[in-house]
Every structure is written in C-alpha cells, then in structure tokens.
Amino acid sequence: MTRTFVIEETSLPDLPQLMLATVEALKALGGSASIHELDEAIIEREGVTEEEQALTMPNDSRPRVRYYLAWARTFLRRGGALENSARGIWALTDLGEKITSRDQTADIHAQVNEEERIRARQKRLKAKSAETADETIPVEREQSEVTDDTLTDWKAILLATLRDIDPSAFERLSQRLLREAGFVKVEVRGQTGDGGIDGVGVLRVNLVSFQIYFQCKRWKGSVGSKEIRDFRGALQGRADKGLFITTGTFTSQASEEATRDGAIAIDLIDGDRLCELLKQYNLGVATAMIEQVEINGDWFASI
C-alpha cells in the first residue's frame, strides 16, 4: 500500500493520518489487538523502515514511531473511537468502526484538543483563585500529557536507571532475572569477545532441559535485524535457541528475523517487557497498595 505518513527526526508526523492508520490496522486485525500487535501491523502495512524505527524522541529513549502511535491511540480513545481493557487490549468502538477517512480522525483530533484547552483554562482559573501562597502551581500545557497505559513514568525512570548502570552490572542483573525465572547454571561470559554472546543458562521444562545462550544490551532506540542475524551467527552449532534482552525496542524486521523459518529461534525481551519482569520478580522494583479514603457528604447530611 502507499505510504500515508513518514517519521522524521526534525518534524512532526501527521497525527490524524496516524489515527486513521491505527483504525485501519485494527479493522484488518479483526477489531482488537494488543499494543505490540497493533504497532507491528501499522509498521508493516506502512512499510516503516528500520531507520525510521530507530529514531528516538529528544532526551527520551522511546522510538518516535511508537511514541506518536501511542498519541494516536490516546486521541482515538478520548474521542470515543477506541477502548482499552485492563489487560492492554485495544478495540474499536461502534464509532471507530465507522471511521473511513482522515477528515473524521481530524475532527476527533480537533475535538480532543479543544476539550484539553478548556480543561487547562479551568484548572488555571481554579489555581489562580485558590490563593495558595505556599504552593507552586504547575504550568498546564495546552495539550494533555496523558498517553496510553504502557508509557508510564515508572518504566521511563527504570529504563533510564538501567542505561546508567555499568554494562557488567546489567549482565549480572540479566543473570539474576533468568535465575528468578527458573533458569539454572546461568553463567555470564563477560568481555570474552564470544561473538556477542553474553552468557548461557539451562531452562528445565518438565523432563526436558534446554541450553539457551543470551545477549543483553543496554540499548537506546531500536535493535535492528542485523543485530539479530549477528547474534544468530554466534549461536550456530551451539544451541537451538537464543534470548536477546535489551532496554530498547526491536524493529518489526528484527522481530520477523528472530522467528524466521528454518533458522535458530531467538526470543526477544524489550525494555517494556523487561520492566514488567523486574516488577514481577521484585528486582529493584517495589509496588505498594495505597489506601484511598472518600468522604460521603450525603451520608452525613442524612444523619
């Protein structure tokens, strides 16, 4: 199909067009999809190059294409064309099913922007009249800061922390994570120049054991298909499976290369999944339940 948007380092993409591409991809996927499935489908349908996928946001590690696709989902959700479940599945609403043109997504884009401008003005007026002498009132932007559920602050902070640690520390962290996940005999090879292999471990599944070599890279941006091919080359004659762990993301071409027919399969753990795994195994990430207290004024009024 003909390209309908481009991702460039110095200019913004056409967001209403990204919104339309999101709707069309969801329709092709049967009306619902996970974020990963949806992003991959759009990237494939549009023929987004690996060079475009490798571009990141200024002062941010998030790939530009996925960042703006997240905004496209956010606008569509705020406009009532999409809904998402607690499990991260996005689906078209009845309104979304009826979208067939950029004019319709442009109307939603304008509507949501206007709602955000009104809300921002109301917040500023409320803050101004509150006479909060001891408080600093944050400056509200004209556009909402809300993005979709995967782009949460704690993940951005965690990934920034991981990129700042020593490479050997990241290898030890990967070793610990694999052990927590059930691997045994996990060894880190370190700086041995072993063809990109950082370590090896054994995964036992019932009565069968698999020796799996892994590579772990603190990466900003997207890992491309070349890195997957290079890693697979190092695995030849050693293992039936590999594992690539990164703080970045994988291009759609890298994902396809990782599961190419007739080649050694390589499982991929990107930054988002790495964050979830560290949270799951409580490795440097702690969760807390916060009590929320609500006062029922009507109840007191009825006494």
Asked whether the predicted pLDDT for residue 222 surpasses 90, the reply is no
Domain 1-148 -> CATH class: mainly alpha
List the chain domain ranges.
Answer: 1-148, 157-280
Closest CA to 201 of 185, 216, 217, 188: 185
Helix (H) / strand (E) containing 41: helix 35-46
What is the spatial distance between Cα 279 and Cα 274, in angstroms, rounded to a whole number?
9
| Residue 13: CB atoms within 10 Å | 21
Give me the pLDDT at residue 141, please.
37
Give me the pLDDT at residue 135, please.
43
What is the spatial distance between Cα 168 and Cα 198, in angstroms, rounded to a whole number?
10
Give me the pLDDT at residue 154, please.
87
First to last CA, the chain: 67
Contact of 203 with 183, CB cutoff 8 Å: yes
Q: What is the pTM of this model?
A: 0.70
pLDDT tier at 192, thresholds 50, 70, 90: low
Give me the pLDDT at residue 14, please.
92
Grouping H, G, I as helix, E, B as strand and the rest as coil, residue 11 is: coil
Tokens of 17: 């067009």
**Between the CA of residue 18 and those of 27, 109, 192, what are the distances in Å?**
14, 11, 45
Mean of pLDDT values over 129-138? 48
What is the spatial distance between Cα 33 and Cα 23, in angstroms, rounded to a whole number?
11
Tokens of 124: 């500023």
- Model confidence pLDDT, tens digit, residues 38-80: 999 999 999 999 999 989 888 777 889 999 999 999 999 999 9
Q: Where are the beta strands (DSSP E) in the chain?
A: 32-34, 82-84, 89-92, 183-188, 199-205, 208-217, 222-223, 241-246, 249-250, 265-269
Asked whether the predicted pLDDT for residue 137 surpasses 70, the reply is no
Residue 282 Ramachandran class (φ > 0 left, ψ -120 to 50 alpha, else beta)? left
Mean of pLDDT values over 283-301? 82
Q: What is the DSSP letter of 170?
A: H
Architecture, CATH, for domain 157-280: 3-Layer(aba) Sandwich (3.40)
Among all chains, which residue has been given the structure tokens 């080649």?
263
CA triple 98-118-79, angle to 5 deg: 15
**Which phi and psi (to 5°) does residue 198 adopt?**
-100, -20
Among all chains, which residue has been given the structure tokens 């694999």?
178
Give me the pLDDT at residue 134, please.
44
How many CA atoms within 13 Å lie on the side-chain side of 274? 31
How large a percentage of the chain has pLDDT more than 70?
89
- Model confidence pLDDT, tens digit, residues 146-166: 344 444 578 888 998 999 998
Contact of 89 with 38, CB cutoff 8 Å: no
Give me the pLDDT at residue 59, please.
74
Contact of 178 with 185, CB cutoff 8 Å: no
